[in-house]
Amino acid sequence: MTRLFIFIVSMLLLTGCVQRSILDDIQMVTIIGYDLPEEENEEGLIKGVAVAPQYQADGRVDNSVFVQTAALSKEIRSQYNSESPKPFVSGKLEVALFSKDIAETEGIMELVDTLQRDPSIGSRVFLGISNSDMETLLRTNYGNVDTGTFIHDTLSHNSKHGMLPQTNLHDFLYNYYSEGNDPFLPLVELDEDKVKITGLALFQGDRMVGSIDAKHLFTFKVLHQKFSSNDSFTVKVNEEEHAAIYNIASKRNLNLKKVGSNKIEIHGKVLGVIKEYSGQKLTPAKLKEIERAMEEDIEKRGMDMIEEFQTQNIDPLGIGNAVRSVTRGDFNKEDWRQKYPDMDISFKMNVTVTESGVIE
Amino acid sequence: MVNKMFRWLKKNRSPEKLKNLPELIRNLQDSGDFLHYESKQQDSSFFIYYFKTLVHETELNDHILPYLVEKPLKTLEDIPERVPIPGVILSSDLKEICEKVMRGFVIIRLNANATECALIPSQVKKARAVTQPEVEFTVVGSKEAFVESLDTNLHLIRKRLPVHELKAYEVTVGKLTNTKVVVLYLDGIANVENVNTVKQRLEDINVDQIVDNSVIMQLITDDKNSPFPQLIDTERPDRATSVLCEGKVVVLSDGSPQALIGPTTLVEFFSAFEDYFVNWIVASSARLIRIFAILFSILVTPVYVATLTYHYELIPKDLLSTLVSSRQRIPLPPILEAIFLELSIELLREAGARLPTKVGQTIGIVGGIVIGTASVEAGLTSNVLLIIVALSALASFTTPVYRMSNTIRLTRFPFLLFAHLWGLLGVTICFCFLIAHLLKLKSLGRPFLEPLYPLRVQDLKDAIIRLPLKFQNKRPIHLQSEDTVRFKTVTEKEKNDFHE
């Protein structure tokens, strides 16, 4: 009886130690952006822009924007609290954006690290690099939605069904920490009242060193991973004729048998459906022609891209990681870095058009 | 304890105080409906005493008295010979006489001072006609329900089970009410230990009044401090018969239209008798829906409180705006909001149950629609929670056994409290307490959570799902039946009449 009494009393007393965060009494940050401050005297500091949606009873969503400058990102957070009526929580963070300036000069790992350390932040948070000014980007009203969800959805559907390769906190950290991989993140830009994905930012370590334009994203995705998408790819068959290929399913294969003699072959395989054709009639011979044109086009773009990567000595395609997986014994990261620019990497495409419409 | 409490009763009413029959009769004459007169013939006379409210007077005048007056009565021994009714006895035992006369026997004495008398049975039997079951109504199947008369109820079971193995052991319980209680079981099938447990517990009952079988249920149940019922009560004679065949024990008591069934298990409370009338697939899915409904009913409001108080991360982002905007104007924390709504639902239910049917319906509509909408508009509760609470109340009514649905609704409140104190961890802790409590329970000494724990794979055939009847060929293990095989499964012959 005494034991039961003590048990109950101590349990009730312990409830005082639990911290409550009632849903409507907290400030949920859905997107956070980091930028370098503009003023001269704030050198070495970081400007953090956080957006917390305010859901109104009538269904409207207002976005409150908080801007603070400090040396550490957690310090920024305590400064946010000083100007907010409700305590800040980070559990509903959807997107973290970094300005191009930060990514190019200081590197982003220091900031990503705090995201990774916070247990209430999931590993599926999207990361991105912003070309536009962070404060303008996040202060823009994107309609009756909260900004975080809006940008998250833009990135999410593009990497699920579109040409954007998958990039979230988990992927970034994997690429960053694994040997023979370099991370990449989507590049976004403000386009009047929308956010546009303009390409891919390429990293060496945690520093941005280059970028890929949006029109080459398809080629990058073919080179990078197996995927299927609903986007289209336009092939220029000759001066007048164009064909659009939809419902693309793609696979890549790395032939690593000749790594010893510094030769790597990448085989891409694409299946697609012709939905649009500007020429007159699609004959089987024409189909072959289209396939060949597409193969050549992708091969050319791919080879340009690979050569670019080699000159910059970055490996976003994860070739190093693939080589490591077939290397017996210790894989030396430094050796690989030395060897990589001189590797003979070739790229072969195989395009198959499976359907070309009902009317033949 | 109970013995001491009722000792004063014993003193006042015991017929031992009365020394002899004339004194008893004088005592009985205090009541206005006690009739006594002398029947005088030429050379013999006798005295008749009875309660006119207990005796069938037409029967007495038409079928008993004529035999007594056709020839003069010499001795009392003549009476049993002359009256063509079984059950006529001669007695001088005051206690027996008193008991019989109170049950509608007629006393006949040869002279006013005799201490011995004849007792002729002539009870008036007034009982409600057998009607449709109302609590356990099924669309298909028998439409008979137990009534308040023990004899009718026994008849309803006996006609369904015309075997000599069906035994009806009778006990009289209650010092004032002297209620007849019958223990029914199939000899050679029901476990002797189970039967003896019930008999023993009935005989140990020491109260003055048995209002209903529910009182007996409370008195013989294993854990009297548990909110969970450990015996099932049914108003369906076909259900009673069917559990008798399984080897269970049924308790009937006079004046109660409910039969008690034991030993039982938790899953049995979630199986409706209709499950046996429909195809096994339909029955199994109905059971699964019911189990889902129970869990939903217990857990959904606590989980709502826990997530809104502690775990905002768990809420999907598309639901966030709905939840936050619905709670925007509400001054109460989630727990008070939930308790407010839960209590108002309980109020409605209680008010509806206490009022006559027609008014009760109005209360339901007024309460459900008017109060619900008004409290949302007034900003006291969020409409999301209103939906949740209404759904969980609805879900709690899917339990086939009425007693269980009361328990289910009660269980929600500790869960709510724990959810408020420790969030989902609290819900888990409370769930552990609940499981521990259920594990501890017994029904007539048999484990209450069987076949889930202890795991009896064979008994799962009729637990969460109900397998086809051909698999139901063994009696449940937990009943420890004397005869475990119900029937032998014969492999079916080729049923195709046509050949290709």
pLDDT of residue A24: 85
Quote the number of domains for chain B.
3
pLDDT of residue A155: 93
CA distance to partner chain B, nearest, from residue A48 (Å): 22
- A356 versus B247: the higher-pLDDT residue is B247
Instruction: Tell me if A247 is assigned to some domain.
Output: yes
Q: Are residues A201 and A285 in the same domain?
A: no
Mutate to test the interface with B, among A7, A8, A10, A23 (most CBs of B within 10 A): A23
| pLDDT tens per residue across span B227-252 | 999 999 999 999 999 999 999 999 99
Cβ pair A92:B330 closer than 8 A: no
Cβ atoms of A189 and A132 within 8 Å: the answer is yes
Cβ atoms of B456 and B464 within 8 Å: the answer is no
Helix then strand then coil, in percent of chain B rounded to 5, is 50, 15, 40
Question: What crossing angle do the helices spanning B237-246 and B150-158 adopt, rounded to 10°?
Answer: 60
Q: Are residues A167 and A282 in the same domain?
A: no
Cβ pair B317:A149 closer than 8 A: yes
pLDDT of residue B321: 87
Cβ pair B422:A56 closer than 8 A: no
User: Which two three-digit tokens encode residue B387?
Assistant: 């939906």
Q: Are residues A138 and A254 in the same domain?
A: no
CA distance to partner chain B, nearest, from residue A150 (Å): 11
**Closest residue on chain A to B321 (Cα):** A55
Cβ pair A22:B309 closer than 8 A: yes
Quote the number of domains for chain A.
2
Cβ atoms of A211 and A202 within 8 Å: the answer is yes
- A91 versus B5: the higher-pLDDT residue is A91
**Closest residue on chain A to B425 (Cα):** A18
Helix then strand then coil, in percent of chain A rounded to 5, is 40, 30, 30
Instruction: Tell me if B7 is assigned to some domain.
Output: no
Q: Are residues A154 and A235 in the same domain?
A: no
Q: Are residues A80 and A181 in the same domain?
A: yes
Weakly modelled stretches of chain B, pLDDT under 50: none
Query: Which of residues B446, B479, B495 is at a domain's end?
Result: B446
Instruction: Tell me if A237 is assigned to some domain.
Output: yes
Instruction: Tell me if A14 is assigned to some domain.
Output: no
B376-411 b/e with 16+ CB inside 10 Å = b? beeebbbebbbebbeebbebbebbbbebbbebbbeb
Per DSSP, which regions of B22-94 are E strands? 34-40, 45-51, 89-91
DSSP B208-256: S---SHHHHHHHH-S-TT-SS-SSEEE--HHHHHHHHHHT-EEEEETT-
Q: Are residues A230 and A207 in the same domain?
A: no
Instruction: Tell me if A275 is assigned to some domain.
Output: yes
pLDDT of residue B500: 56
pLDDT of residue A259: 81
Instruction: Tell me if B48 is assigned to some domain.
Output: yes
Q: Which residue has the tokens 């499950």?
A: B275
Q: Are residues B103 and B188 in the same domain?
A: no
pLDDT of residue B361: 75
Where in the sequence is the domain holding B358, given as residue range(s)?
281-446
Q: Are residues A231 and A209 in the same domain?
A: no
CB-closest option in B310, B327, B421 to A24: B327
CB-closest option in A12, A24, A89 to B328: A24
Query: Which of residues B103, B121, B139 is at a domain's end?
Result: B121
Q: Does residue A174 register a pLDDT over 70? A: yes
Query: Which of residues B121, B140, B175 is at a domain's end?
Result: B121
Cβ pair A146:B321 closer than 8 A: yes
pLDDT of residue B499: 62
Q: Are residues B254 and B298 in the same domain?
A: no
Cβ pair A149:B328 closer than 8 A: no
Q: Are residues B419 and B296 in the same domain?
A: yes
Contacts with B421 from chain A: Cβ below 8 Å: 11-12, 15, 18
Residue A348 sits in a domain whose CATH number is 3.30.300.210
Burial class (CB in 10 A: 0-12, 13-18, 19+), A203: buried
Instruction: Tell me if B459 is assigned to some domain.
Output: no
Instruction: Tell me if A355 is assigned to some domain.
Output: yes
pLDDT of residue B310: 92
Q: What are phi and psi of A83, to 5 degrees?
A: -115, 15
Contacts with A22 from chain B: Cβ below 8 Å: 308-309, 333-334
Q: Are residues B238 and B106 in the same domain?
A: no
Mutate to test the interface with A, among B318, B319, B325 (most CBs of A within 10 A): B325
pLDDT of residue B194: 94
Which of A173, A234, A172, A233 shows the shortest CA–CA distance to A201? A172
Instruction: Tell me if B21 is assigned to some domain.
Output: yes
Q: Are residues B239 and B163 in the same domain?
A: yes
Q: Are residues B303 and B441 in the same domain?
A: yes
Instruction: Tell me if B416 is assigned to some domain.
Output: yes
Q: Are residues A203 and A256 in the same domain?
A: no
Q: Are residues A88 and A230 in the same domain?
A: no
Where in the sequence is the domain holding A237, given as residue range(s)?
226-360
| pLDDT tens per residue across span B363-414 | 777 777 788 888 888 888 888 999 999 899 889 888 888 899 889 989 999 9
Instruction: Tell me if A108 is assigned to some domain.
Output: yes
CB-closest option in A22, A28, A56 to B308: A22
- Cα separation of the two ends of chain B: 79
Cβ pair A12:B423 closer than 8 A: no
| pLDDT tens per residue across span B413-442 | 999 999 999 999 999 999 999 999 999 999
pLDDT of residue A60: 87
Q: Are residues A195 and A253 in the same domain?
A: no
Cβ pair B308:A92 closer than 8 A: no
CA distance to partner chain A, nearest, from residue B341 (Å): 18
Q: Are residues B415 and B365 in the same domain?
A: yes
Cβ atoms of A161 and A132 within 8 Å: the answer is no
Instruction: Tell me if B267 is assigned to some domain.
Output: no
Q: Does residue A6 register a pLDDT over 60? A: yes
Instruction: Tell me if B329 is assigned to some domain.
Output: yes
A14 DSSP β-pair partners: none
Query: Which of residues A168, A188, A213 is at a domain's end?
Result: A213
Query: Which of residues A213, A244, A264 is at a domain's end?
Result: A213
Q: What interface predicted TM-score (ipTM) does this complex get?
A: 0.85
Q: For chain A, give the percent of residues with pLDDT over 70.
A: 99
Report the alpha-carbon distance of residue B489 to residue B471 in Å, rounded: 8
User: Which two three-digit tokens encode residue A50?
Assistant: 């956080």
Mean pLDDT computed over A152-175: 90
Cβ pair B324:A23 closer than 8 A: yes
Instruction: Tell me if A11 is assigned to some domain.
Output: no
Instruction: Tell me if A3 is assigned to some domain.
Output: no
Q: Does residue A30 register a pLDDT over 70? A: yes
Query: Which of residues A161, A190, A213 is at a domain's end?
Result: A213
Query: DSSP code of A265?
Result: E
Q: What are phi and psi of B8, to 5 degrees?
A: -60, -30
Q: Are residues A326 and A358 in the same domain?
A: yes
Q: Which residues from B are below 8 Å from A when comparing CB atoms?
A: 307-310, 312-313, 315, 317, 320-321, 323-330, 333-334, 421-423
Cβ pair B312:A26 closer than 8 A: yes
- Would the CA dihedral through A92, A95, A101, A105 be positive or negative? positive
Q: Are residues B253 and B208 in the same domain?
A: yes
Mean pLDDT computed over A101-130: 91
Q: Are residues B114 and B24 in the same domain?
A: yes
Instruction: Tell me if B130 is assigned to some domain.
Output: no
Q: Are residues A95 and A205 in the same domain?
A: yes
* Band of residue A244 on the pLDDT scale cut at 50, 70, 90: confident
User: Which two three-digit tokens encode residue A211?
Assistant: 């970028």
pLDDT of residue B294: 94
